[in-house]
Chains A and B, each alone.
Chain A
Amino acid sequence: MLRIVFRVKDESYGVPAGRVVEVIPRVLLRPVAASPPGVAGLFVYRGTVTPVVDLSLLIAGEPCPDRLSSRIIVLALRSRATNGRRLVGLLAEGVTAVTMESGDVQASLLIPGAPYLGDVARMGDRLVQLIEPEALIPDELYPVLLLESPAGEDPESTRRPVSS
Chain B
Amino acid sequence: MRDFISLEGCWRLIGAGGDRSCPELLRVVHCRNCEVLTRAAEAFLERPSPAGYAEFFTRIVAEPPRPAVEEVSVVLFRLGQEWMAIDTAVFCEVADLRPVHRIAHRVGTLVSGLVNIRGQLHLCVALDRLLEIPLHAGPAAESRKRERLAVIGTRAETWVFAVSEVHGVHRFAASSLEAAPATLPASLSAITRGVFPWGERRAAYLNAAELQLALRKVAG
Spell out A's residues near B (CB within 8 Å). 24-28, 43-47, 66-70, 94, 96
Are B45 and A24 in contact, with the CB atoms below 8 A? no
Are B49 and A24 in contact, with the CB atoms below 8 A? no
Are A47 and B49 in contact, with the CB atoms below 8 A? no
Spell out B's residues near A (CB within 8 Å). 42, 44-49, 53-55, 57-58, 61-65
Are A27 and B46 in contact, with the CB atoms below 8 A? no
Ordered by A's residue number, 10 sampled pairs between the chains whose C-beta atoms are within 8 Å are A25-B49, A25-B53, A25-B54, A25-B61, A27-B57, A43-B62, A45-B62, A46-B63, A68-B48, A68-B53
Are B47 and A43 in contact, with the CB atoms below 8 A? no
| Pairs of residues from A and B, 10 with the lowest C-beta to C-beta distance, nearest first | A47-B64, A69-B45, A44-B62, A27-B58, A25-B57, A28-B58, A68-B45, A28-B54, A46-B65, A66-B48
Q: CA of A44 to CA of B63 in the docked complex: distance in angstroms?
A: 8
Q: CA of A24 to CA of B48 in the docked complex: distance in angstroms?
A: 16
Are A24 and B47 in contact, with the CB atoms below 8 A? no
Task: Write out the residue numbers on chain A whose beta carbons fall within 8 Å of the beta carbon of B58.
Answer: 27-28, 43-44
B106 to chain A, nearest CB (A): 56
Q: Among the interface residues B44, B54, B63, which one has the most CB atoms of the partner chain A within 10 A?
A: B54
Q: CA of A25 to CA of B48 in the docked complex: distance in angstroms?
A: 12
**Nearest A residue to B44, CB-CB:** A68
Q: Which of B46, B57, B65 contacts A24 (CB 8 A)?
A: B57
Q: Which of B53, B54, B61 contacts A46 (CB 8 A)?
A: B61
Q: CA of A79 to CA of B218 in the docked complex: distance in angstroms?
A: 62
Q: Which of B45, B47, B53, B63 contacts A96 (CB 8 A)?
A: B45
Task: Write out the residue numbers on chain A whose beta carbons fall within 8 Å of the beta carbon of B49.
Answer: 25-26, 66-68, 70
- Which applies to chain A's interface (DSSP): helix, strand, loop or mixed? loop
Are B47 and A45 in contact, with the CB atoms below 8 A? no
Q: Which of A24, A46, A96 contacts B42 (CB 8 A)?
A: A96
A88 to chain B, nearest CB (A): 15
Q: CA of A28 to CA of B55 in the docked complex: distance in angstroms?
A: 6
Task: Write out the residue numbers on chain B whose beta carbons fall within 8 Å of the beta carbon of A94.
Answer: 45
B10 to chain A, nearest CB (A): 21
Are A68 and B46 in contact, with the CB atoms below 8 A? yes
Are B47 and A47 in contact, with the CB atoms below 8 A? no
B69 to chain A, nearest CB (A): 17
Q: A68-B49, A69-B46, A96-B45 are in contact. Are A26 and B61 (CB under 8 A)?
A: no
Task: Write out the residue numbers on chain A whose beta carbons fall within 8 Å of the beta carbon of B45.
Answer: 67-69, 94, 96
Task: Write out the residue numbers on chain B whose beta carbons fall within 8 Å of the beta carbon of A24.
Answer: 57, 61
**Nearest A residue to B48, CB-CB:** A66
Are A44 and B46 in contact, with the CB atoms below 8 A? no
Q: A25-B53, A25-B54, A26-B54 are in contact. Are A68 and B47 (CB under 8 A)?
A: yes
B197 to chain A, nearest CB (A): 30
Are B62 and A46 in contact, with the CB atoms below 8 A? yes
**Nearest A residue to B64, CB-CB:** A47
Q: CA of A47 to CA of B58 in the docked complex: distance in angstroms?
A: 11
Q: CA of A59 to CA of B35 in the docked complex: distance in angstroms?
A: 30
B49 to chain A, nearest CB (A): 5
**Nearest A residue to B62, CB-CB:** A44
Are B53 and A67 in contact, with the CB atoms below 8 A? no
Q: A25-B53, A28-B55 are in contact. Are A43 and B46 (CB under 8 A)?
A: no
